[in-house]
Amino acid sequence: MSSLELFEDAAALSQAAGAEFVALAMAAIAARGRFTVALSGGSTPRRLYEMLATPPLRDAVDWERVEFFWGDERAVPPEHPDSNYGAAAAALLDKIGATPSLVHRMRGEDPDLDRAARDYQLTIARRFGIDVEGPPPALDLILLGMGPDGHTASLFPASPALKEQRRWVVRNRAARLGADRITLTAPILNQGRDIRLLVTGADKAETLKGVLEGPADPERLPVQLIAPTSGCLRWLLDRAAAADLKGGA
Ligand code: 6PG
């Protein structure tokens, strides 16, 4: 199931995303005793993380039952300004006093990113009590963004990871950036019970029109790979990003 919601601006979008995060967390904890979430990098979710670390949202979640994963990570150590883990730690995890054993960062500092990706898949398998060689688990919530080139997580246009159908976590090449990343792959992303794609900014408008209203072309627009097998995908867009859509802004 997929839906789309339009917001006046990034602040209103973040407010709505925060309310959804809290609602999903409460439901997952009530149903299964924990809430597993994959955080996204980039600038859009930062405001969401800051809102979640601030009353009233902060006090609405039993953070000791929230387990944090990441959708992707740059090839940098956690203290590096580009680290997705570092950004989330500063905006949210450190402020809520997240339980370290429930925070699973990708080791972007590993000189061997293939090993780091394999290790992360092992971490996920252990936390879900499943076979590391088997089908991927269903995380409760996967937060994603979209770059102006149509990438999501670190699934970049024409990159090797787009075709991955077996592994849940791989090293991938961001050719345009001349950098390697670690990223979750479509198989595990599409297992998510709930996927929220947060897209803001006029620089995304043309690409978003191609993604939502153009032909399927995931090699060129990797975010089109996001199609949950049984979960719920919701696009949260601000007016600027939606400006080129039919009936958009
Ligand atoms: C990253 C993210 C990436 C991000 C998009 C959108 O590591 O940068 O995982 O996929 O979501 O680049 O970023 P913005 O939200 O900053 O536009």
> Ligand 1 within 6 A of 222 CB?
no
pLDDT digits (tens, 9 = 90+) for 116-130: 999 999 999 999 999
Report which secondary-structure segment, H or E, holds 20.
Answer: helix 10-32
Rounded-to-integer distance, Cα 104 and Cα 141, Å:
15
> Ligand 1 within 6 A of 172 CB?
no
Report, as an integer, the average pLDDT of 139-149: 98
> Ligand 1 within 6 A of 72 CB?
yes
Q: Which atom of ligand 1 is nearest to the CA of 203?
A: 17
- Which pLDDT score is estimated for 160? 97
Residues in the chain: 249
Q: What mean pLDDT is reported for the chain?
A: 97
Report, as an integer, the average pLDDT of 78-107: 98
Kindly tell me if the per-residue pLDDT of 38 is higher than 70.
yes
8 Å CB contact between 185 and 225: no
> Ligand 1 within 6 A of 83 CB?
no
- The residue whose C-alpha atom lies closest to atom 15 belonging to ligand 1 is 44
45 alpha carbon – ligand 1 mean position (Å): 9
Report, as an integer, the average pLDDT of 236-242: 98
Rounded-to-integer distance, Cα 128 and Cα 241, Å:
36
What is the token pair recorded at 140?
């409760």
Kindly tell me if the per-residue pLDDT of 247 is higher than 80.
no
Q: Sheet of 66-70: strands edge to edge?
A: 2-7, 232-238, 194-199, 141-145, 35-39, 66-70
Kindly tell me if the per-residue pLDDT of 217 is higher than 90.
yes
Which residues are 74's β-sheet partners? Answer: 181
Confidence of residue 248 (pLDDT cuts 50, 70, 90): low
31 alpha carbon – ligand 1 mean position (Å): 31
Q: Which atom of ligand 1 is nearest to the CA of 144?
A: 11
Q: Which atom of ligand 1 is nearest to the CA of 199?
A: 15
Instruction: Tell me whether residue 55 is exposed, middle or buried, using C-beta atoms within 10 angstroms of its C-beta: 0 to 12, 13 to 18, 19 or more.
Output: exposed
Helix (H, G, I), strand (E, B) or coil at 219: coil
> Ligand 1 within 6 A of 203 CB?
no
CB-based burial, 116-139: b 16+ in 10 Å, e otherwise: bbbbbbebbbebeeeeeeeebbbb
Widest distance between CA atoms in the chain: 47
Confidence of residue 113 (pLDDT cuts 50, 70, 90): very high
72 alpha carbon – ligand 1 mean position (Å): 9
